[in-house]
Amino acid sequence: MAAKYIFVTGGVTSSLGKGIISASLAKLLQARGFSVTIQKFDPYINIDPGTLNPYEHGECFVTEDGAETDLDLGHYERFLNKATSQANNVTTGRIYYHVITQERQGAYLGKTVQVVPHITDEIKRRMLLLGESGEFDIVITEIGGCVGDIESLPFIEAVRQLRWELGVNETCVIHLTLVPYLKAAGELKTKPTQHSVRDLSEAGVQPDILVCRSEYHIPSDLRKKIALFCNVKQNSVIESIDAETIYDVPLLMRKEKLDERVISKLKLPQKGEPELETWKEFLGRLKNPTAEVNIGLVGKYVELPDAYKSIVESFVHAGAANECKVNIKWFQSENINNENVASLLQGMDGVLVAPGFGERGFKGKLESIRFVREAGIPFLGICLGMQCAAVEFARNVLGLENAASTEMDPETPYPIIDLMEDQKEVTQKGGTMRLGAYTCELKKGSKAFSIYGKAKISERHRHRYEFNNNFLADFEKAGMLASGINPDTGLVEVIELQNHPWFVAAQYHPELKSTVLNPHPLFVKFVKAAMNYTKSK
């Protein structure tokens, strides 16, 4: 069977949760036995979100093949338990870059290059790419931004053309919109939804299904009104109410029969009821914890939790695996110093020092690590967190005064963390780091080996600076073991303290691989260590 295409658009306002709705629908269709993938088309002109400040756009999610992508791809992977790739995230910048490069190479033979057909043709080609691979029955394409935005127009136009070209039962458009509640009037209002659908229709695309985000239940008379004014069937007006956790959304969408509407629109073969038992078991463990721990997350973007989205979700998965409620306490690393670190962190059952770039908040991270190392509190360091752990150890245990990373102090006498040789010539910022999956070998008998239960692992990276192996012998002599090494380059991937209850730090990003069905072992064991620490207090 040729792949069928579902397009998810959004109106009224951004951040309505198109990513979660797309991932939930994909989960339901996957649970019915279909092979599904999701892709995100972003209307901004950056080639990828790799150079965006996390405050602008949340975290940057890295795929196995090293693509720096939108954080929605993290949701897709966590829900579907399937890896995404470069092909799953496309930006306006990438589309234009490709078309302009083609034009410079003379591909258009003297034609005037225009938004229609050249840009829209390239968008359509990318929309169909995954479907033509033969791997998938259904491709869900989420269009970023809002209908009515100037930058979204070429994408909507591409959808209009594809619907026309592919045929009536080959595509389905789901439009996500807002039904706000006006306190003063004491009622839900449908007008924003009507306007949003009108904007979409003016661009030539009539939605098949409306998913209405609301804080309150939408009664049937309002659904009738929305259906009438927006030209959709009444049973295709779907309510999406605020959920306790994003992992409830597939079950809420199942109750609203979103998957059934899609199956009937696309004339898909009925494959029986969705198999959601393991999902329900996960939710059962998540909502009925038997223990509770407080984990301190020390980072520099803590004002926007989305900047650490994958870490937060990894704690949700690991908490459920341990039947333990994980309370994350956020600490702005800039505000931590020698005087206040003990009072801030002593109530924690575990501390995670988060990834990041640049000097801001570096000293606070070092102080946090010194405190938990000396106090015996379980510690997990990720990427820059691992580099900070190495610098802190060099300064306070090895006595190397002013030891640092050359990222923070290019003149340091002890460059514990340094640029790799092949990075020293790099001047461009975008897409030039060590990105994507690399293998790592764990030393038998180490804590890292016991956490993973195997010697060879593969993890995703996103960094420029590495541990400087010139200091390795001194580290190991003083009790800091390099327990994970990249077999091809000899670079240090994991370090751990031998005379500490649980002190592990990784150069890679374990949070990027944690899913509902496969919680990441590092997070699972870290939460377990925090539970043991609570009991021992």
Backbone angles phi, psi at 83, to 5 degrees: -75, 145
Distance CA 376, CA 365 (A): 16
**Residue 114 C-alpha from the chain's centroid:** 34
Whole-structure pTM value: 0.91
| Binding annotation for ATP | 15-20, 72, 243
pLDDT surpasses 60 at 518: yes
Task: For 397-434, write each residue's pLDDT tens digit.
Answer: 999 989 989 888 889 998 999 886 655 555 555 445 77
**Residue 268 C-alpha from the chain's centroid:** 30
**Segment (H or E) for 231:** none
Backbone angles phi, psi at 67, to 5 degrees: -80, 135
Helix, strand, coil shares, percent, the chain, to 5? 40, 20, 35
Q: Which of 350, 368, 377 is nearest to 523 (CA)?
A: 350
Distance CA 261, CA 237 (A): 10
For residue 507, the model assigns a pLDDT of: 94
Between 81-95, 170-184, 363-377, the lowest mean confidence (pLDDT) is in: 81-95
Structure token pair of residue 133: 């691979």
Give residue 105's identity as a one-letter amino acid code.
Q
Task: For 363-383, write each residue's pLDDT tens digit.
Answer: 999 999 999 999 999 999 999
For residue 229, the model assigns a pLDDT of: 94
pLDDT surpasses 70 at 52: no
| Binding annotation | 14-20, 55, 72, 142, 149-151, 189-194, 225, 243, 356, 384-387, 407, 464
Q: Which residues are catalytic?
A: 383, 509, 511
Under the phi-then-psi rule, with left for phi > 0, alpha for psi from -120 to 50, and beta for the rest, what region is 286?
A: alpha
| Binding annotation for Mg(2+) | 72, 142
Percent of the chain past pLDDT 90, that is, above it, reads 70
